[in-house]
A and B are shown apart, each in its own frame.
Chain A
Amino acid sequence: MTYSTTADWALARAALDETSTPGAGPLSARPHVPDETFWLRGEETRLAFARFVNMARRQRGWSIEKLADDAHIEVGELMSIEQDGGHEPELRTIWRLSEVFDVSQARLMELAGLASPKDTHAMEEAVRYAARSTAITALTAEEQAAFDGLVSVLRDKAK
């Protein structure tokens, strides 16, 4: 690449950005938060999504590998979904998971943070159910109840 610049250019240009911090793309910092649901969508609901996938898989007694095979999803993608709350799943992954787990694709997209929730209350409810579960090898009765509640929210295909 050809690149040459001077100290004068730097001084003149830097004077133009005295009041702002440059940043581009979603990796950068400090986007405005338009309302409280932004954070709910972006972090809490995605953690709830991770918990849902984890519990739905374990309820069926499936390994990650088995779910990956059945849903035609990469093992690495599934592991990222279950273990990394910051991971943004692929759209086609959501579609396949909604098919395998028989829940609403739209709701699952909202939970994964890939679509704006039409019903914020339902998403808050889903997050609450997810928060009641804890990661152990088999679903306890309490966990099963939390999971059933989560599924009932996600199965509401009318919305």
Chain B
Amino acid sequence: MARVGVFVCWCGSNIAKTVDVVKVAEAAGKLPSVAYSTDYKYMCSEPGQNLIKQAIEEHKLDRIVVASCSPRLHEPTFRRCISEAGLNPFMLEMANIREHCSWVHDDKEVASEKALDLIAMSVAKAVKNEALFSQEIPLTKKALVIGGGVAGIQVALDIADAGYKVTLVEKTPSIGGRMAQYDKTFPTLDCAACILTPKMVDAASHPNIEIMTYAEVEKVSGFVGNFEVTIRKKARSVDMKKCTGCGVCYEKCPKKLPSEFDCGLGQRKAIYVPFPQAVPNVPVIDRENCRYFADGGKCGVCAKICPSQAVDYTLEDEMITDKYGAIVAATGFQPWDPTPYTNLGYGRYPDVITSLQFERLFNASGPTEGKLVRPSDHKPPKNVVFISCIGSRDDEHGYPYCSKVCCMYNAKHALLLKEKVHDAQAYVFYMDIRANGKGYEEFVRRTIEKYGAIYLRGRVSRVFQDGEKLIVRGVDTLAGKPVEIEADMVVLAAAMEAQPDAKDLARMLGISTDEYNWFSEAHPKLKPVEVLTAGIYLAGACQYPKDIPDAVAQASGAAAKVVGLFAKESLQSEPTVAEVNEDTCVDCQLCKEVCPYTAIDTKTLTDRAGNPIRTVSCVNEGLCHGCGTCVAACRSSSIQLRGFKDNQILSEIDALAFAE
């Protein structure tokens, strides 16, 4: 026979003001199976908890109902309390008579009646409670970081500094990401390379970091603490151990191609390093465009010239499978292609370029070695028009969201333009200036006031070529007048968009994406680096457009989460997870198909000789979040949620429906 103790909390006046706690506690004492009941001013306080512990001992209570606030607030407190008194923590039920009762009612009599009903339900459920136990789950203390941009590098460094092993996987031949393409960074105008490349080198030389460039994640299985990941290392065609990075191979390579790193403004070879400070400084052969691979082995210049015999055309893709305890996605963004703005002439006029192209044009390691010139005639531009919100805040052509960084880099570009070409004039068409960051607004004001950039609030209707000039027609809505500018160059602040393969990675990781394919965080405010799948975290712009400080801050946040996870000896599974009744399961696998956490798999039951009998579902307790979707889907009620089994729920309903 169960012996339930009921503890009614006043919560100061929060509950006691609207619920007659003394009377309710008295009435609760008369409920079936209740052996003891009392009330107290603050049940969560130390004397309150001692009261519960003493009562458990004195009255030999085996189940406890605390009638107080939401379990969200104090369930962990009271579970700890009763377990200190020797009970299984899952012998606790909480009746929420605050949020569900006192806070939403005025009439004391009615509220007290309802409070008693809620307590009666909890008592009925508590009687059916079973002791539940956590399982110990092993933990591999090694992290996988996907994406080697500034966010990924920061995550890797922070985790590695805490003493754990990290694998940093990067799709392109070098780490560095977008930031490596930038010239200077707002609002302090530090040179991007000067602050990034030391970090790249730190990552490469860190004893706890293994960098895999030119590699992609191919398959992910498992769960928090125990992911199994297969990584495809694409054939580099250059032996990383032998290569000294001398660069003779790409000097002599006869095949020239537009450079992705320079946004098509410069050229690279078929064997190449994407940029001079690349890490690792080992070239890669772009096999699709290499003459050796196209002509069946005729060219071979790079192999012949290489002083250390590092070029190896026979290398093949390599598959590496390893175990990881945590995964951080830091795959970044891609710049949106502004071609849909046909009125602005991008792709048609050579001097209409994107902001990233502009960035490469005045970068010292860029295609013009830092001389700012027009792509068409290599003359320095005088009048440059910057147009904001290209593909951002624009449902029609691009995305409704704000890309967040464009206002700032427009100001930066307008300022740097004046520094490079002293008699130049910058015009910035904008919708609103969004400069909310440390030193940001001041920076924009400096660009306008000290560097004379002309800011025009309005959109551009059309850009067209007239001789050597680009005519920009727009509107200055503050002056209420149409504007026409004779420009030498037009720079489009293209939106940030999710990586084209973001959705595929999300599917692989079992995480969700929003309607624009940005990865979804677990909670927009309180869990911004977590996702709904335990053990997977987000860093940088793969979640939503971010500038460098935000990306780095989130990266350190993600690293702190990983380090926090790894600081544990092992993981404890949450025992309130789904459980399959193998006797009645018919293997329709609907539970598996509806599970949002891929926590359900099938297993084959065997007889004692090991012969297969039939297949049933089984729950991976490490992956299950206890959401109960499978329970609702199962037609034969063969899957139940521990702590919320049918008989427990039905008891609650009966207590309410058949109350006298």
Is the A/B pair a real complex? no
Q: Which residues of B approach A to under 8 Å, CB–CB?
A: none
Interface residues of A (CB under 8 A from B): none
